A and B are shown apart, each in its own frame.
Chain A
Amino acid sequence: MKLRIAVTTVLCLGLVFGVSMLSHQTHAQGKRAALSGGPASMPEITVLNPMGTPPPIRLVPQAPRLDTLDGKTIYLINTGYIGTDRFMDETAKWFRANYPETSIVYRDNQSGAGLSSLSDALWAEIAEKGDAAIVGLGH
């Protein structure tokens, strides 16, 4: 094994959570065997890791789930991607047919496409009057 990896024994907590995106950032020790094979006479050199620094990630617990949909109000949010209005229209019809005791409220995003363009007022309305939300993120 010609490759020597300097530093690091820190296990990635992300891997504990099974996040597949980190697969390309595999722990360096695990790569040593696979990377051998260069000509024996070729000298080794040490190079620098070119990556920047990601921000720390603070885990946020998800909101408790509903015990039933009956008697509850669900907001259907169209964030503005083309076709989402039709999707939400059909979603509303489905809920009314299958969960007649559930209230459906449809809200259209008027200020552009994307989650970030939803207004604070809409989130406040959902928090005050809704029990849950289904958000169409596209496409």
Chain B
Amino acid sequence: MKKPAVPVVMHDFAAQQKEVAFNLGMPNFRIQYFRGPVWGKTNEQIRKQVMEGGNPITGRPVMQELVENLTRPLAAEERRTGEVKKDLGPGTYTGTPEELQKLFLEKRYTDFLPVELPTEEKVAEMLKSTSREPGEVLGRMNPGSEAGETWTYTVKTAAINAVMAGAAPEYFPVILALGSTGMTAVNVSDNGFMAGAVINGEIRDEIGLNYEEGAVGPYAHANTTIGRAWSLLSINGGNCGKVGTTYMGTIGNPMNLIGIIMAENEEKSPFRPLSVRRGFRKGENVVTLFMGWGILSAKNWAATVWGPNMNYPEIIKEIYGTQDGWLFGTCAVLSPPIANFVRDAGYDTVEKFTEWVTGRPPGAKPAVGGNLNSGIRNAGGTFTVIVTGGSNNNYFSMGGMVPSRSVQIDEWR
């Protein structure tokens, strides 16, 4: 608009704001920092603690600086034009394995755990699991909001990160399907989002995904390393998850390490698989992406009917009713015994159960409100059922997780 504008931002975001300004072509953009947050403060507290306080970075009075940012003539570097590129280092590194592990750690190529070092030979082996060209652009990813620029990565980039994650080549089509969506596994939000995926189809057994006991945890090589590969691809291919610049989680989320990679227990579920409910044929290899806060044992929530005589459908409905589903809706990950309790209570389809739990007729779309700055449409009370896990007890988990895209895996073979 060619008029001077000064954003005011709490100083904790300074590094991130600097990166955003750089990405937008204004590396010396004038930003006014203050000591925040202002949320929860009274007018008087804001006046005394924020406005009459100093900029924590410069130590100078906030309001005086603000006026100067609007009136002080521009320096030469603030008027500069042209194009700049970031230096991402060389295409290869050579050293001993110990040196390279240290290098990757220092450069933040890792999730802070040792990685399988991506030699050309191992990456070539990974690439044998797909007919796609190594140089094909696989996806474009940003950290999930205007805070970050959008990076591009290729099939080979995904293969490098899959090797680093320790994934077996036969998992690679799933990793490519995930990467093709451009959805980050490590969202920038200060709210601490996580990402997950549900895999349906014959590929579950083909590559050894666990959908029995421990199905949502790191208890199988395929589930664990596919999730880690997605996270590493997000870190390296999409430049996500860098605290201070592309990651702002106030508390963070441990599920960002490997996400939640689930395969549905289709054989023991009384319901149609998630992928079939989303329009794919049974047996088709499909991965459905999720985003949210994650899941916890259903026992985490207070439910009035929890006792010797269990009414599982009622418990699920009660949790749905008490959970704030505005952003990510509610996701119920049911073990087969719980799913059977639901069926035996008269809900022989997920659709019938959803109608009863949410109070919405079949096909009715949940109320959808605003559009968050993260680009995520709020879920407005969606209810999603996934059946997985063992049958050794009547446990299940629930939480805020909303499904987004479903992708055919075989397209990436």
- The answer to whether A and B assemble together is yes
Assuming the A-B contacts A5-B94, A62-B78, A117-B370, are A49 and B28 also in contact, with contact meaning beta carbons closer than 8 angstroms in the complex?
no
Q: Which one, B3, B19, B99, B236, contacts A131 given CB within 8 A? A: B3
Give A3 to B89 CA distance when docked, in angstroms. Answer: 14
Assuming the A-B contacts A8-B89, A52-B141, A52-B151, are A60 and B146 also in contact, with contact meaning beta carbons closer than 8 angstroms in the complex?
no
Is B205's CB within 8 Å of the partner chain A? no
Q: Would you give the shortest CB distance from B107 to chain A, in whole angstroms?
A: 6
Is A105's CB within 8 Å of the partner chain B? no
Q: Would you give the shortest CB distance from B195 to chain A, in whole angstroms?
A: 17
Q: Would you give the shortest CB distance from A22 to chain B, in whole angstroms?
A: 7
Q: Would you give the shortest CB distance from A79 to chain B, in whole angstroms?
A: 8
Q: Would you give the shortest CB distance from A116 to chain B, in whole angstroms?
A: 5
Give A30 to B392 CA distance when docked, in angstroms. Answer: 56
Q: Which B residues fall within an 8 A CB radius of A?
A: 1-10, 15, 17-19, 22-30, 32, 36-43, 46-47, 50-51, 63, 66-67, 70-74, 77-100, 102-104, 106-109, 117-120, 123, 141, 145-146, 149-154, 157, 160-161, 164, 190, 232, 236-239, 242, 244-245, 370-373
If A44-B94, A132-B70 are given as contacts, then 10 extra A-B residue pairs at C-beta distance below 8 Å, sorted by A number, are A13-B85, A17-B22, A24-B107, A25-B88, A52-B141, A56-B84, A83-B38, A90-B47, A117-B371, A123-B1
Which residues on A sit within 8 Å (CB–CB) of B15?
20-21
Q: Which A residues fall within an 8 A CB radius of B?
A: 2-8, 10-15, 17-22, 24-28, 31, 35-39, 42-69, 74, 81-84, 86-87, 89-91, 93-94, 98-99, 111-117, 123-124, 126-127, 130-139
Task: Please list the 4 inter-chain residue pairs (A to B) with the smallest Cβ-Cβ separation, ordered nearest first.
Answer: A114-B373, A12-B87, A52-B153, A38-B96
Which residues on A sit within 8 Å (CB–CB) of B41?
83, 86
Assuming the A-B contacts A24-B108, A53-B153, A59-B26, are A134 and B236 also in contact, with contact meaning beta carbons closer than 8 angstroms in the complex?
no
Q: Would you give the shortest CB distance from A68 to chain B, in whole angstroms?
A: 7
Give A90 to B118 CA distance when docked, in angstroms. Answer: 55
Residue pair A112, B372 in contact (C-beta under 8 Å): yes
Assuming the A-B contacts A20-B15, A132-B4, A132-B70, are A57 and B95 also in contact, with contact meaning beta carbons closer than 8 angstroms in the complex?
no
Which residues on A sit within 8 Å (CB–CB) of B154?
52
Which residues on A sit within 8 Å (CB–CB) of B66?
134
Residue pair B1, A59 in contact (C-beta under 8 Å): no
Assuming the A-B contacts A63-B3, A86-B41, A127-B1, are A49 and B91 also in contact, with contact meaning beta carbons closer than 8 angstroms in the complex?
yes
Q: Which one, B38, B39, B79, B145, contacts A114 given CB within 8 A? A: B145
Residue pair B3, A2 in contact (C-beta under 8 Å): no
Assuming the A-B contacts A46-B119, A51-B109, are A10 and B27 also in contact, with contact meaning beta carbons closer than 8 angstroms in the complex?
no
| Chain A residue at minimum C-beta to C-beta distance from B78 | A62
Q: Would you give the shortest CB distance from A115 to chain B, in whole angstroms?
A: 6
Give A49 to B153 CA distance when docked, in angstroms. Answer: 12
Residue pair A67, B92 in contact (C-beta under 8 Å): no
Q: Would you give the shortest CB distance from B108 to chain A, in whole angstroms?
A: 5
Listed residue (B5, B72, B98) with the most chain A CB atoms within 10 angstroms of its CB: B5
Which residues on B sit within 8 Å (CB–CB) of A90?
43, 46-47, 50-51
